[in-house]
A and B are shown apart, each in its own frame.
Chain A
Amino acid sequence: MGAVASNAPLIAEPLISLRGVTKTYGQGATMFQALKGVDLDIAAGDFVAVMGPSGSGKSTTMNILGCLDVPSDGTFLFRGHHVETLDRDQRALLRRKYLGFVFQGFNLLSRTSALENVELPLLYRGDEKRARRDAAMASLDTVGLADWWDHTPAELSGGQQQRVAIARALVTSPDVLLADEPTGNLDSERSVEIMQLLTRLNAEKNITVLMVTHEPDMAAFARTVVHFKDGLVERIESQHRQGESVES
């Protein structure tokens, strides 16, 4: 995995570091400050749940962390590099290399098989056909859908679609998995399955997971919970997870 993550000492340089990040939408009378100076450090290998009331700036923060958007002000360090100064294409390349996305609405390409959906990031990376197939199948296997590779989204249940989306996010072996309300469209049983999958990926593949959720049951799977309120980080808490002891 990443250089920072390997043999990470207890006090490591954080993988992600936000300092005084603000985000202002619109101009003049319709101007609205969604983020008002967010400070946040995320260590490599952490499992973070982001919670908070609607409109508190959770998605805005996730978009910035996912390099889909840039802060209006403040600094964003990823592995010690400034991201806020990168241009569109540089951010795209960063996403391609280090980040995986899971969305509330799954966002799979319709009329496209699970396998082709999962392959897509590898196509942009320019992998050979064979390598693409193998990696995509392995990724589908990880989420337990190897047998469903030729099904289109319309032929899959919501939970299965979300697992395909996770397989797509995983296929490039990213450092960070960003999920904005990944269980928002699923019933509680399916939600638990997804959370177990994310927990396993976090533990076995050492992928840093950042997840927005409204449900305390889902947040219970995380190691760190970040609470947002009115465009600011209200508090951060570390919590024990089942069968795990937290040091410090």
Chain B
Amino acid sequence: MATPLLEVEGLRVEFRTRDGVAHVLNGVDYHVDAGETLAVLGESGSGKSVTANTVMGILESPPGVVTGGSVRYRGEELLTAAPARRRELRGEHIAMIFQDALSALNPVFTVGFQIGEQLRTRRGMSRRDAEKRAVELLDLVGIPGAKQRVRDHPHQFSGGMRQRVMIAMSLALDPDVLIADEPTTALDVTVQAQIMDLLADIQAERHMGLILITHDLGVVAEVADRIAVMYAGRIVEHADVHSLYANPCHPYTRALLESIPRVDTKGTSLSAISGLPPSLTRIPPGCPFHPRCPMAAERCTEELPPLAVLPSGRSSACLFAEELVAG
């Protein structure tokens, strides 16, 4: 098999705080290739952002500590790479956009200056050329009147527009992996649809690998090629989008799909998942989902199910995955 564009393997991260050690990532595995969209789906606190931040090399440390695993870009190990090399990769090869565009942008500089910054410092462009390129990028992400707006400050833009500015900024150096961490969670539904369309277009046009982090099963179904479902700092299921929705092979994924209302049907009562996600300082032994799992058996309290690859190429971290795949 060819080397994936970006690959995360067995990634482990702890947060060491006064309240104890939080086992935030407990062996995360995923990869993305050029020209495809991987959705990383999970509830809040499941470790989606910590994984992304570790990939980017911007994990807050302390308190965060990487205790194991590997992150490889085109086969090159990043976790042990020199800081200078990591900085070089950031933006140039792997870029990231965040949920809260307002706090990710600097309020005192114009958006044009911020978009052009990387071009000036890393590509040695003149101020004028960088601004010209910023206008092109703003135009590309659909900001009307880009030529005038390039000298505006972030607060002069609406939420959706700011997210477009962020996207423009992330594209400045032509990265080939883009990580989008809940890019539309704070936006209204009509604006969310615009931004998702934009990301999908850019991803296809530039043949980028897009990692889309979200908690929204609807958004995933609209744009993803493959999905990695996270629970308590691990991937519990991984499949192509069609197989996953048609036949979820992990009880957590199955329960999630049954617990959400759908806009296209009235539906009857929702089957809620009982209980809460585990505290990461005290993850239950065995399968971390067992206290909430309707299928849990004795074994589940003792054995940690590995993320096993099933014959169809999909994978599931459930001891009974093969029965589930059979339907």
Q: Do A and B bind each other?
A: no
Chain B contacts to A: CB under 8 angstroms: none
